Amino acid sequence: MQAAELAYVLREGAELREVAEAAEATGHASVAVEGLREPLTISGIELVPRLTTRDLSMLRRFKGLRAYPVEKAEDLRSYPRLRRYAHIITMTGNALRRLGPREVERLSNLGLPVEVQVNTVLEALASGLWLRGLRALLTAALTDRVKLATSSGAFRPQLIRPVEVKRAFLEVFGLTQSHTFEAVITVPANVLGKVVRS
């Protein structure tokens, strides 16, 4: 099973070829690209469109990876619709800082994989912030209540993180090797594979 990158944000002037090359160099076989309209394959790397929005009607219509961002506890309300329309729940910087065990319990009841972006966490860490939400999430992941998925959350091809960095990042936070493997390889590959097949 090859690794998949779940979050790359396409900005003006960026070359998709560069993204594919960076993905290949960092050990990924497919990338979900925010801002891409159609699925593409460049030098063997699959580029899949991604949409991150809280608007469920937009998520419903979108063909590609559908991500629902969570910022605060109130964002986790419309359970049945969310479960039907979203492929993945994305933790924003605010959510990583503020959410507590109760909200993480709600996430676990939802049953969708939860995405943690390495770049978002690194930014928060560099600012010296206490990541209450991340800690609660990792505890839930360790007890198999939440399926964790890591991504880079990059907006430049150079910022796509290698698989090794994602693995080290989770192990530094105390995740076991098997949980890390699941969060870095298995869950992202399964999510993107499901999107490609549908």
Partner 1 sequence: MTTEYAVFLAVAALATSTAALIYVVRLRRQLTTVLKALDSKALRRYLRVVEARQRGRDRKRFIVFKLLAGRGLSKAEVEELIKKSFKQLFGTTALAIAGVSLAHYDPERGAGVVRVRATHKNHAIVALAAVDVITRGEVVIQPTRTTGTLRKAMRYAEEA
- Exposure string over 108-140, b if 16+ CB within 10 A, otherwise e: bebebbbbbbbbbbbebeeeeeebbbbbbbbeb
Amino acid letter, residue 154: A
List the structure tokens of 20.
């594919």
Q: Which is nearer to partner 1, 37 or 126 (CB)?
A: 126
Q: Which is nearer to partner 1, 15 or 164 (CB)?
A: 164
Least gap, CB of 111 to partner 1 (angstroms) = 30
Least gap, CB of 159 to partner 1 (angstroms) = 7
Least gap, CB of 123 to partner 1 (angstroms) = 5
Q: Which residues are CB-contacts of 23 (< 8 A; sequence separation ≥ 6)? A: 5, 8, 29, 30, 31, 45, 160
Least gap, CB of 184 to partner 1 (angstroms) = 13
Q: Which residue ranges make up the site for partner 1 (CB under 8 A)?
A: 26, 118-119, 122-123, 125-126, 128, 156, 158-159, 161-162, 164-165, 167-169, 171-172
Nearest Cα residue to 151 out of 189, 193, 178, 179? 189
Q: Which is nearer to partner 1, 40 or 168 (CB)?
A: 168
Least gap, CB of 80 to partner 1 (angstroms) = 38
Q: Which residues pair with 116 in a beta bridge?
A: 150
Q: Are 155 and 11 in contact (CB under 8 A)?
A: yes
Q: Which is nearer to partner 1, 32 or 154 (CB)?
A: 154
List the structure tokens of 189.
């590959």
Q: Which is nearer to partner 1, 39 or 162 (CB)?
A: 162
